[in-house]
Structure 1
Amino acid sequence: MSVASVAPVAGAVLLGALAGLVAVPFGRHVVGVPPDEGPVGGVGSGGTVPGDGNRGRAPRRAGDRAGASTRAYASPRRGSVTVTGAVVFGGLAVTHGAEPALPVLLLVAAAGLVLAVTDLIALRLPDPLVGAVALGGLGLVGTATVTGEPGRAATALAGAGLSLCGYVLLALLPRARLGFGDVKLAAALGFPLGWLGWPTLRLGLLLPHVLAGTAVLALLAAGRVRRDTPLPFGPAILAGAWLAAVLT
């Protein structure tokens, strides 16, 4: 690999590390958790979370006992999210660095890092951040139209529509654990997944359930959660979309 090809990837890795570095404090700010407050299961005081993703869940207090009102996760460490950001951006740069839409994909990834943080901290997917992901996807539709690729624009729109319909049906199933914040995020990610092609879209719709199922089984086996413990699904949606984007 030449220096000319390494430089953009290295730049993307550094940019991703920076995005990950600021994702945790920004995410805590978005859900109303003070930066100096320890890991909590909601907003700490039980107050209203601003800009929630309409999941329909009541805010949780740090003192709730294990069970239906307890989360399995706490605020992620900044170092871990920084490394994750570097890997996410670097992977996209390696696999899609030659495409003019790479900046849009990185923008979606940056918003995704913050969304993963807010979901892990407070089981929230704030609408403004999901909207940023959707706007990035619409930007890809516009890019495909300008570059004379109507097929890509059509698959991007179809990807969003299929993701929306599929997740709405899943959310309406009896005993479903999905919230409508998850539905909106999946629909927003359907734009870039569809833009990248049908194989990417199919894998991006499948992988979140595989990842989430594996994580839940591991947590149950370790005694970290119970069957009625609410768990964030947003990180699995985001991780599945990223894996699909770099593997196909």
Structure 2
Amino acid sequence: METILIITAAVLWGCGTGVLIPRPAYRFSVPPEEPWRSVCPAGHPLAGIGGGWLGRARCAAGDTYGPSTLSATAATAIVCTLLAAAIGYRPELVVWLLFAPTAVLLATVDFAAHRLPDVLTLPLAAAVLLLLAVAAVLPDSGGSWTWALLGSVILGVCYVVLFLLSKGFGFGDVKLALVLGAVLGWYGWAMVLVGTFAGYLFAALYGIGLMLVGRADRTSRIPFGPFLLAGTMVGVLLGSQAS
């Protein structure tokens, strides 16, 4: 009964937060040199809660904009459901559920504009580490805050090296690594390796698929963020079972 309640709450949380993702995703999905969008495609100002950042992606004329609300909601709900089913009644579940909607938002923006906004990644890294520090001192926690901190630092340093060596690697991915290293590091160094490898595997398969259908070649750049996040999801699900 307890598990059913946790999963139900996770589904409701995923649906409720997923509905809100298209509006900020639309606003953030601009080239690095441009300011965040402040009007809808029809030119209507984006007014609403939180300076126009919160609310449904629907303009004054009633037209929707940005990514599909159904897709964003479904993706967030599925992620939250998987997390709740795998982790159960542990304090870190709250951290992962808070992290999940932002992860979906980051993946959506990176797919649309090939960028991972600092305004999301850097505060998220600090928030995850802070929340995991709280989770670590609560009963029944399934990880280590020390390893989360080390994972964040080590993965961040590794990604800096990759950024310097690889032209296809963005600095936004380096900042995202601070978050992913903390999340994976919570379950130990082995999960940092597993989650990172899974992310690169997903990216490689996606790139190969694009080349097979003629939509990319060996010089094309693809967004790494969504696949790194997906790999982290794999690491969390596996790590939660091993802990």
Counterpart of 1:100 in structure 2 is 91
Partners of 2:148 and 2:186 within 8 A in 1:
yes
- Ranked by relative contact order (alpha carbons within 8 Å, sequence separation 6 or more), the top structure is 1
Mapped partners of 1:120, 1:196: distance in 2:
28
Shift of 1:146: 5.9
Which position in structure 1 is the counterpart of 2:131? 139
The residue that corresponds to 1:111 in the other structure is 102
Q: Are 2:228 and 1:230 aligned?
A: no
- Name the SS of the counterpart of 1:226 in structure 2: coil
Identity %: 34
**Pick aligned residue for 1:179 from 170, 181, 191:** 170
Residue 74 (structure 2) pairs with residue 83 (structure 1): yes
Structure 2: unaligned runs, 5 residues or longer = 30-35, 43-65
1:37 aligns with 2:41: yes
> Matches of 2:68 and 2:197 in 1, distance apart?
28
2:233 to 233, 238, 242: 242
Quote the Cα distance in structure 1 between the aligned partners of 2:37 and 2:205. 29
Distance 1:29 1:36 in 2: 9
Change (3 A) 1:23 1:93: same
Equivalence for 1:66: none
- Aligned pair count reads 208
TM-score of the superposed pair, with normalisation by structure 1: 0.76
In the TM superposition, what whole-angstrom CA distance separates every residue of 1:171-190 from its partner, at most 9, and x where no partner exists? 111x4311110011012221
Residues 67-78 of structure 1 aligned to structure 2 (within 5 Å): 76-78=67-69
Q: What's the RMSD between the two structures over aligned residues?
A: 2.3
Aligned to 2:2: 4
**Superposition deviation, residue 138 in structure 1:** 2.9
- For residues 148 and 20 of structure 1, the distance between their equivalents in structure 2, rounded to whole angstroms, comes to 29
Paired residues of 1:28 and 1:35 also in contact (CA < 8 A): no
Matched, 1:197 2:188: yes
Distance in 2 (alpha carbons) for counterparts of 1:13 and 1:197: 28
Report runs of 4+ in structure 1 exceeding 4 Å deviation: 33-36, 145-149
Match of 2:19 among 15, 18, 21: 21
Q: Offset at 1:34? A: 6.4
Matched, 1:124 2:115: yes
Paired AA for residue 137 in structure 1:
L
Structure 2 CA distance for partners of 1:162 and 1:80, relative to 1, 3 Å: same
Question: Structure 1: which 5+ runs fail to align?
Answer: 39-74
Task: Give the stretch that moved more between structures: 214-223 or 89-98.
Answer: 89-98
Change (3 A) 1:159 1:15: same
8 A Cα contact 1:27 1:114, kept in partner:
yes
1:150-161 matches, cutoff 5 A = 152-161=144-153
